[in-house]
Amino acid sequence: MAGLFDAISQAKRSLMAQQWAQMTTGHNIANVNTVGYSRQRAELAPALQALEVPGGLIGMGADVEQIVRMRDRYIDRQVLAERQNHGFLNFKSTTLGQVETILGETSGYGLSGMLDEFWACWSDLANDPENSAARVALQQKGMQLAQKLNTLDSDLANQQRELDMQLSGMVGQINQLAGQIASLNTSISTLVGQGVVPNDLMDQRDLLVEQLSGLANVTVQDEGDGTLSVWLGGQTLVYRDNAQQMNLELIPGSAADLHRITWAHNGMEVEVQSGEMAGLLLVRDEAIPELLAGLDQFAVGLAENVNALHLTGYALSGATGLNFFDPNTTGAGNIALSAEVTADEDNIAASGDGSAGDGSIALALFDLQNQLVMDDGTATLNQFYAALAADLGALTQSAQNDLYESDTALQQLENWKLSAEGVSLDEEMANMVRYQQAYVAVSKFVGTVNEMLTTLLSI
C-alpha cells in the first residue's frame, strides 16, 4: 500500500515539474517581443528523494532544479564593445554631416562659389572702371562674401553651443541609468540572498547597461552576489547599490562658455573615449574649432591681401589709401566692407595711376586669386578654403564609411545574440508539445496507480 501512495507522490512531483516547465514556455512566448528579454529554460532534474526497495532505489520523479536565463557572456561583451564604437561613429557621422551642411559646399550655396563671383566682379570692373553697375555689383558681392563668413562663424558657434547643451542631456541620462542600475542591484542581491534568481530583473539591468554603453566607454563586472559593477573611463560609476554622479563645469578660459564633465565626488574630469559622448566631444572640441580657426585665417588673409592692393589704388574721386575691407578684421566673425566702400561704391579703387579709365588695380585684385598668399606662400586663397572644405568632407566620409562597417558588425552580433538568448516561437511550440505529452503520460500513470489502489482496496 505504501508503495502505491509513494507512486502518487512521485506522479504529483512530476506533474508539477511539467507544469512549471510549461509555464516557463508560456512566459517565453508572452515576451517574444519584449526588448531585452532573455529566453528562460526550466532545468529538470531527478528528485533528490528516493524510495528504497529490495534490490535498490527508485527515484521519486522530477523537480525543476532552476529556471535558467539563457545568456552568452562572450557575445554580451562583444555587443557592449561594438555599441560603444557604434554610438561614437553614429554621433560623429551625423554631427559632421550637420557641420558640412552649414558650410553649404555640397548644396552649391557655399563660400567657394561666392569667392569665384567676387573675383569675377574685379575682372568686370577692370574692363570698365567707370561703370557704375560694375562697381555696385562688386560692392554687393564683397558685402555678401563678408556676410557669408559672418554667418558661417555664427552658425558654427551655435552648433558648438548646441552640442554643449546636448552634453548636459547625456550626462543627465548617464546619471539616471547609473541610479537605476544601482537600484536594481539592491533588489537583485536581496532576492539572490534569499535563494531566488530574479531573471526578469537581471534582463532589465542588462538592458540599462546596453543603453549606457551606447553613450560612453563602460566596462562591467559581475560581483558574484547578484550585483554588477560598472566603470566609466577607469572610474567606478556603479558599485553594488551606490551610483556615482557626474557634473558639468565651465571649462576655464572657454570663450564659448563650454563645459567639461567631472565626477561629483572628487571633481576629476571624466575620461570619455567612446560612445555618443565621445563623438560629441570630438566634434565640439576638435572639428568645429579647427574649422572656425581656418575660417578666421581665411577671412584675415582675404581682408589683408585685398586691402594691401586696394590701398595703392585710386578711387574715382582720386582718393587713395582706402581699404576695401574693414582693416580691423580679426576673423570670420567680424569681417566687413570698409566704411568708405560701404558708403559709396565710387570709393572702390580700380585705378593704379589715378586716371578714371585705368583698371590696373582691379586687374591685380582679380589676379590675387592666383597668388600664393596663404600658408606661408604655399596656397592661394581659393586653395586654402577648398582644403578646409575638403578636409571636412573627407572626415565626414570617413566617419560614414566607418559607421557602415560598424552597422554591419553590430547587426551580426545582435543576430548572434538573438540566436543565443532570444525567444524562438518554433522552439517554444516544440517545448510546449513536449511538456504537454509528458504531462499527459504522467496523468495516465496516475490513473493506472489509482486503478491499482482500487483493486487493492477491494480485496
What string of pLDDT tens digits covers the 459 residues of the chain?
456 767 777 878 888 889 999 999 999 999 999 999 999 999 988 877 776 667 767 777 788 889 999 999 999 999 999 999 999 999 999 999 999 999 988 777 789 999 999 999 999 999 999 999 999 999 999 999 999 999 999 999 999 999 999 999 999 999 999 999 999 999 999 999 999 999 999 999 999 999 999 999 999 999 999 999 999 998 999 999 999 999 999 998 888 889 999 999 999 999 999 999 999 999 999 999 999 999 999 999 999 999 999 999 999 999 999 999 999 999 999 999 999 999 999 999 999 999 989 999 999 999 999 999 999 999 999 999 999 999 999 999 999 999 999 999 999 999 999 999 999 999 999 999 998 998 888 888 777 877 777 777 777
Residue 101: other Cβ atoms inside 10 A: 13
Query: How distant, in Å, are the alpha carbons of 39, 131, 200 from that of 26?
Result: 11, 87, 14
Judge if 33 and 132 occupy the same domain. no
CA distance 251 to 273: 18
Structural domain for 112, as ranges: 77-410
The total number of structural domains in the chain stands at 2
Same-domain pairing of 103 and 170 = yes
Length of the chain: 459
Looking at the structure, tell me whether residues 66 and 150 fall in a common domain. Answer: no
Query: Are residues 250 and 398 both part of a single domain?
Result: yes
432 plus 403 within the same structural domain? no
Q: Are 436 and 119 in contact (CB under 8 A)?
A: no
In whole angstroms, give the CA distance from residue 446 to residue 439: 11
Q: Indicate whether 418 belongs to any domain.
A: no
Co-location of 45 and 156 in the same domain: no
Q: Which of 332, 325, 330, 297 is nearest to 310 (CA)?
A: 325
Residues 212 and 206 sit within 8 Å (Cβ to Cβ): no
- 154 shares its domain with 39: no
Please say whether the beta carbons of 263 and 253 come within 8 A: no
For 236, the enclosing helix (H) or strand (E) is strand 235-239
CB 115 within 8 A of CB 370: no
- Which amino acid, residue 316? L
- Mention every residue, 6+ apart, whose C-beta is less than 8 A from residue 150: 332, 333, 334, 335, 336
Cell of 117: 563671383
State pTM to two decimals: 0.89
Residue 415 belongs to a domain: no
Same domain as 321, residue 285: yes
Is 264 inside any structural domain?
yes
Co-location of 20 and 99 in the same domain:
no
